[in-house]
């Protein structure tokens, strides 16, 4: 299955996500140039100010940094995406299709404590309430911006 000189990343199953990979399995030949680009991006991301803890983790040690570099990386032929059906059959809500999978990653993470855990709860269990809360937060945020702009 694995061939020489390729990077192997696992496709992400979360449809709402802007991140297309997971980082629980990665295969790579030694000293592949993709990793130099990951280190360069890591240095850039480290300088950012992150609002949420999960964003900081996703774009420093998590799949977010892989997604950033992959989108800029040429040639794509160096990277093989392992299919989510075989390697990542569960979404963030715990819904799994195990019929054709080799492994299961349930996505439990200690870093999803705080705001992220509320987001996951509303996304998975209470979508309508989550949407209403997001709308209210956006309206409050816009009102604050408008008020600050008038000062």
Distance separating alpha carbons of residues 72 and 108, to the nearest angstrom: 29
Residues 6+ apart with CB under 8 A from 11: 20, 21, 22, 81, 82, 83, 84, 87, 88
What is the reported pLDDT for 80?
92
pTM for the full model? 0.71
Q: Are residues 119 and 50 in the same domain?
A: no
Domain count, the chain: 2
Range of the domain at 98: 7-108
Residue 1 lies in a domain: no
pLDDT in tens, 102-130: 988 776 666 666 666 676 777 777 777 77
Distance separating alpha carbons of residues 141 and 31, to the nearest angstrom: 45
What is the reported pLDDT for 108?
66
Q: Are residues 75 and 135 in the same domain?
A: no
Q: Are residues 149 and 83 in the same domain?
A: no
Residues 6+ apart with CB under 8 A from 100: 85, 86, 89
Residues of the chain with pLDDT under 50: none
Residue 135 lies in a domain: yes
């Amino acid at each position: 299955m694995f061939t020489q000189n390729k990077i192997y990343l696992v496709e992400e199953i979360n449809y709402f996500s802007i991140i297309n990979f997971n980082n629980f399995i990665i295969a790579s030949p030694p000293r592949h140039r993709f990793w130099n680009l990951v280190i360069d991006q890591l240095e850039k991301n480290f300088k950012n100010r992150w609002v949420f803890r999960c964003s900081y983790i996703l774009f420093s040690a998590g799949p977010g940094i892989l997604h950033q570099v992959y989108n800029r990386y040429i040639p794509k032929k160096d990277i093989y995406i392992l299919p989510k059906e075989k390697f990542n059959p569960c979404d963030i809500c715990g819904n799994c299709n195990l019929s054709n999978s080799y492994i299961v990653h349930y996505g439990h993470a200690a870093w999803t404590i705080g705001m992220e855990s509320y987001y996951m709860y509303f996304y998975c269990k209470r979508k309508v309430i989550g949407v209403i809360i997001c709308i209210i937060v956006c309206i409050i945020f816009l009102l604050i911006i408008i008020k600050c702009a008038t000062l």
